[in-house]
């Protein structure tokens, strides 16, 4: 039988990378398994939170709305008050919830890797805007770069249980917003054929990135037919105030046919109420304000309800991404969005730890597991993030991939059928061999019911010592080196790549 510990010493890097990239004959877990077995809120809780959100939008409204929003909302029955706040009467919000896209495809360049954002289908991915990379050797942080982003993307391409990729780090050497947006998109698109997403700082870059995508897909208008990039937008400065520039960029994305995630990341106790229910109500109100405005401009445009209710450590005011409060809030946020019938995207996996250590592990698993079981369609931040999302670690990402596979196995759950109940198998064993090791059922289920970690250790203590007594982090580092040191054939046609380079200020070397 195959033993991962032994295999690591056999064969070269290329063989290992090839083995890793090859899908198993049957995949016990796939993207989009249905969650929802965990319900942190009751229906009555959700109704109360929704009512509160509707009340806040009608009574207090949103500050700093852009003219385009004000125009469509007032035309639909809203009003601007003397303080310039835009009020959304409940009727137009409810109408937007009705009109809004209930599902959409987040395409991938490799269409077989596209994901369906709908119902309570669960997907794991990255997210955030970390500014630092953890250096494996020194345990210190350095500024993240465009090359880091490309490397992370390539790693993602190899990691089976990460289903979508929102750019998790900022290329800090690129200070010009347009340069940053264009190069970020290019680094993602050339690094993977799986779904990608970005965030934009320059509205002008949106159209140019779409043009880049059109070039890759074969011509103008192709991206709109098969949008394989989603855009995250932190469109709000909580409480209840639009972030004008982000909203402008978001509207450009909507016009370009790019699916958007409406991100409200209030921090409980700082920019949203310390009471968890209130923090959820405010985030829901904010996301509904954006959803309503967008649906008045472009009815049915694919929007993800990105309630990201963050938590403060109230002793210091600092963000705490790895806390239990965070875990239960984001799970509840997903449940709320799904209950409204809308695509849900929440944040989980944001450890407060600075290292890929045991604290990071338990904080990540708790937050991601609850979000997944609540049925979150898109679980952002679920791989690689450390330091309350200030930093990224390649090794953490590899370990997280194992964790995500394991969590996805629990989402798949337990199939109960006459066959799986196994009364006959038990009878045979009791009357025969006395154990199940060689039974047909066991051999059959080895590949269909069970998944196996990529770098997770399951050796005996003695074998583990013989294999070098390595930590998960050390084994992950070997994996990272293997992947990044192995040349990867480009999936973008060289002539197309040249056309992109001719047209745009691409900074990544060929």
Site for its own copies in 283-312 (CB under 8 A): 311
Q: Is 273 in the site for its own copies (CB under 8 A)?
A: yes
Residue number, 302 or 322, with CB nearest to its own copies: 322
Q: Are strands 132-134 and 141-143 parallel, antiparallel or unpaired?
A: antiparallel
Q: Is 4 in the site for its own copies (CB under 8 A)?
A: yes
Contact 287, 234 (CB under 8 A): no
Q: Are strands 267-268 and 303-307 parallel, antiparallel or unpaired?
A: unpaired
DSSP state of 103: -
Distance in Å, CB of 457 to its own copies, minimum: 6
Among 68, 255, 456, 478, binds its own copies (CB under 8 A): 456
φ and ψ at residue 425, rounded to 5 degrees: -65, -45
In angstroms, the CA 365 to CA 350 distance is: 10
Q: Which stretch binds its own copies (CB under 8 A): 187-195, 279-287, 484-492, 502-510?
A: 279-287
Q: Show contacts with its own copies in window 307-346 (CB under 8 A).
A: 311, 313-318, 320, 322-325, 327-329, 331-332
What spatial distance separates the first Cα and last Cα of the chain, rounded to whole Å?
A: 42
Q: Show contacts with its own copies in window 141-200 (CB under 8 A).
A: 141
Q: Is 446 in the site for its own copies (CB under 8 A)?
A: yes
Q: Is 422 in the site for its own copies (CB under 8 A)?
A: yes
For 139, residues 6+ apart whose C-beta sits below 8 A from its C-beta are 355
Residue number, 31 or 195, with CB nearest to its own copies: 31
Cis amide leading into 239 (omega within 30)? yes
Q: Record the tokens describing residue 183, joined without a space.
A: 């190069």
Residue number, 76 or 451, with CB nearest to its own copies: 451
Distance of CA 234 to the CA centre of its chain: 15
- In the 3-class helix/strand/coil scheme, how is 275-292 assigned residue by residue? CHHHHHHHHHHHHHHHHH
Distance in Å, CB of 263 to its own copies, minimum: 19
Q: Which stretch binds its own copies (CB under 8 A): 46-54, 289-297, 490-498, 500-508?
A: 46-54
Contact 356, 395 (CB under 8 A): yes
In angstroms, the CA 172 to CA 11 distance is: 38
Q: Show contacts with its own copies in window 55-84 (CB under 8 A).
A: 55-56, 59-60, 63
Distances (CA, A) of 431 to 150, 325, 424, 437: 58, 51, 10, 15
Q: Is 129 exposed, middle or buried (0-12, 13-18, 19+ CB in 10 A)?
A: middle
Residue number, 198 or 353, with CB nearest to its own copies: 353
Q: Is 9 in the site for its own copies (CB under 8 A)?
A: no
> Using CB under 8 A as the criterion, what x/- string covers residues 220-259 for binding its own copies?
-------------------xx-------------------
Among 409, 492, 499, 508, binds its own copies (CB under 8 A): 409
Q: Is 89 in the site for its own copies (CB under 8 A)?
A: no
Q: Which stretch binds its own copies (CB under 8 A): 13-21, 165-173, 398-406, 497-505?
A: 398-406
Q: Show contacts with its own copies in window 365-384 (CB under 8 A).
A: 365-366, 369-370, 373
Q: Which stretch binds its own copies (CB under 8 A): 19-27, 293-301, 375-383, 464-472?
A: 464-472
């Amino acid at each position: 039988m195959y033993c991962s510990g032994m295999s690591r010493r056999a064969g070269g890097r290329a063989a290992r990378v090839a083995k890793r990239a090859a899908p198993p004959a049957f995949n016990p877990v796939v993207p989009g398994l249905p969650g929802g077995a965990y319900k942190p809120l009751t229906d009555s809780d959700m109704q109360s939170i929704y009512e509160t959100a509707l009340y806040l939008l009608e009574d207090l409204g949103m500050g700093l709305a852009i003219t385009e929003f004000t125009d469509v909302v007032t035309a639909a029955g809203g009003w601007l008050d003397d303080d310039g706040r835009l009020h959304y009467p409940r009727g137009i919000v409810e109408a937007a919830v009705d009109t809004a896209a209930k599902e959409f495809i987040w395409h991938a360049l490799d269409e077989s890797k596209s994901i369906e954002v709908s119902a309570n289908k669960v997907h794991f991915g990255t997210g955030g805007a970390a500014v630092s990379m953890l250096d494996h050797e020194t345990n210190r942080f350095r500024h993240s770069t465009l090359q880091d982003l490309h490397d992370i993307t390539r790693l993602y391409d190899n990691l089976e249980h990460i289903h979508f990729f929102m750019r998790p780090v900022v290329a800090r050497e690129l200070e010009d917003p347009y340069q940053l947006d264009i190069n970020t998109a290019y680094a993602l698109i050339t690094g993977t054929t799986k779904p990608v997403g970005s965030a934009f700082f320059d509205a002008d870059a949106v159209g140019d990135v779409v043009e880049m995508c059109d070039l890759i897909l074969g011509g103008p208008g192709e991206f709109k037919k098969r949008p394989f990039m989603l855009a995250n937008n932190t469109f709000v400065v909580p409480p209840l105030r639009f972030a004008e520039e982000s909203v402008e960029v978001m509207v450009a994305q909507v016009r370009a046919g790019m699916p958007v995630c409406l991100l409200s990341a209030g921090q409980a106790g700082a920019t949203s109420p310390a009471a968890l229910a209130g923090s959820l109500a405010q985030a829901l109100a904010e996301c509904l304000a954006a959803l309503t405005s967008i649906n008045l401009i472009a009815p049915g445009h694919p929007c993800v309800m990105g309630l990201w209710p963050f938590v403060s450590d109230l002793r210091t005011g600092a963000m705490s991404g790895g806390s239990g409060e965070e875990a239960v809030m984001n799970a509840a946020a997903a449940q709320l969005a799904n209950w409204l019938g809308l695509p849900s995207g929440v944040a989980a996996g944001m450890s407060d730890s600075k290292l890929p250590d045991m604290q990071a592990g338990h904080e990540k698993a708790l937050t991601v597991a609850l979000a997944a079981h609540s049925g979150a369609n898109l679980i952002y931040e679920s791989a690689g993030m450390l330091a309350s999302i200030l930093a990224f670690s390649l090794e953490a990402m590899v370990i997280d991939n194992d964790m995500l596979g394991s969590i996805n196995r629990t989402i798949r759950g337990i199939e109960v059928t006459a066959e799986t109940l196994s009364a006959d198998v038990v009878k045979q064993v009791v009357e025969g061999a006395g154990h199940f090791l060689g039974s047909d059922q066991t051999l059959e289920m080895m590949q269909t019911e069970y998944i196996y970690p990529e770098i997770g250790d399951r050796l005996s203590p003695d074998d583990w010592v013989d294999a070098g007594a390595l930590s998960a982090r050390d084994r992950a580092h070997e994996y990272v080196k293997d992947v990044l040191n192995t040349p990867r054939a480009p999936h973008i046609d060289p002539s197309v790549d040249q056309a992109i380079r001719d047209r745009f200020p691409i900074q990544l070397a060929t």
